[in-house]
Amino acid sequence: MSQELPRGFEYAGVRCGIKRTGKDDFAMIAARHGAVAAGVYTQNLVFAAPVEWDRRYTPSADVRVVAVNSGNANACTGQRGLDDAHSMARLAADTIGARAEQCLVMSTGIIGEFLPMDRIAEGTRLAAARLGSEQQHFLAAAQAIMTTDSFPKYVQRSFTVGEQEIAVAGMAKGAGMIGPRMATMLAVITTDARLTPAAAQDALTAAVELSFNCISVEGHMSTNDTVLLLASGNAGGEPMTGRRLAEFTECLADTCAQLAKMIPNDGEGATHLIEIEVRGTASNEDARRIAKTIAESALVKTAICGADPNWGRIVSAAGYAGPKFDPQQVDLLLNGFRLYERGAPLRFDAAAVSEAIKSQRDTRIELQVGDGTGHCRFWTSDLTHEYIRINADYHT
């Protein structure tokens, strides 16, 4: 990607010894002149200390740095965990002369263990010394936030909004499990667009709804899920409002979706990335509930793993998702093959459909359930022996 990075940010990724594997485990993303920041967080009642910290300080008009560690989630750690998150923010803020409240923190890794604060201090020191605004710095940060991910996940885009050239860059991590314990999804999006804190929050909330809230590996909601948006404003001009803000939000959603689907594509043990498109519901939320139910059915996921065009599993999952529809209005396509129409089975070449699933990593399920305008695209991975091996065969 020769894409320009958003102006106003520096990145670093280093190793400070939290992970026993010796891989990089600490990242910093700095905005020395400040950035507007917004966050969207896990809805789990059992949420980690860094989530509590970031919720308190977003949306914000002036965030200076985000510090991220992998290898330890700082979750289910009580008051000490919250004190540690505060210390981590202070340590990172100190390195660039900011206040703790101007630093957001993210953690991912093992649940129920306390953060090794000496390692965190070392990480902030090392990362501060290596901050830079080049591609290599961005990549180092994207790599340092990985846990069981098999590749770093990032997107770099530019958009013309009104007359203005806007850069957006995002990095994310997640593969369904982390180290030996827990699924965690983290993402940081930087942009040089000029936004107010409220507009940044609205844009991020809308974008996440269509992207990170539309992915699943095994459907287990983490204690640490966090998506942050940092807007430096370096593109100049007035803060975005009205039609420009709507256009920006669309660009942001597009970027987030591109980033989000990399997560199930790298889902633990995954051999297929499954895109599920549901149409014809009363609302988008109804479509999302149906798509999510299909995405999280072990029977659907094992069928795709086995290249089995078992449409009964898909249609019956839609039927228990919750939203009402008329079963006689249901059409289903699998990788473009029409298998079920108006609530009745069609004759089809099962061997050809199976071959179509087997021969490509991307699988596409299209389900029409009526003539409403509701719509959702959702991404998931298949369920394989390798998933069981990763999650059952190795002890924590």
Residue 338 or 385: which CB sits closer to a copy of itself? 385
Tell me: does residue 148 bind a copy of itself (CB under 8 A).
no
Tell me: does residue 281 bind a copy of itself (CB under 8 A).
no
- Pick one of 2, 242, 320, 336: the residue that binds a copy of itself (CB under 8 A): 320
Distance of alpha carbon 234 from alpha carbon 7, whole angstroms: 6
Q: Closest approach of Cβ 248 to a copy of itself, in Å?
A: 31
Tell me: does residue 82 bind a copy of itself (CB under 8 A).
no
Could you tell me the CA-to-CA distances from 290 to 293, 315, 333, 341 in Å, in that order? 5, 10, 15, 18
Residue 152 or 176: which CB sits closer to a copy of itself? 176
Distance of alpha carbon 327 from alpha carbon 37, whole angstroms: 45
Please answer whether residues 56 and 108 qualify as being in contact, where contact means their C-beta atoms are separated by less than 8 angstroms: no
Which segments within 25-143 are labelled E, that is strand?
A: 26-41, 60-72, 103-110
Residue 132 or 312: which CB sits closer to a copy of itself? 312
Distance of alpha carbon 274 from alpha carbon 366, whole angstroms: 11
Phi, psi values for residue 123, rounded to 5°: -60, -45
Tell me: does residue 78 bind a copy of itself (CB under 8 A).
yes
Residue 239 or 306: which CB sits closer to a copy of itself? 306
Residue 42 or 255: which CB sits closer to a copy of itself? 42
Distance of alpha carbon 49 from alpha carbon 72, whole angstroms: 11
- Output the six-digit token pair for 246: 């709507």
Residues in 347-386 that interact with a copy of itself by CB under 8 A: 350, 354, 383-385
- Pick one of 182, 188, 195, 231: the residue that binds a copy of itself (CB under 8 A): 182
**Active-site amino acid positions:** 184
Tell me: does residue 391 bind a copy of itself (CB under 8 A).
yes
Q: Which residues bind a copy of itself (CB under 8 A)?
A: 42-47, 75-78, 111-112, 177, 180-183, 218-223, 296-299, 302-303, 305-308, 310-313, 315-320, 324-325, 327-328, 330, 340, 343-345, 350, 354, 383-385, 387-389, 391-396
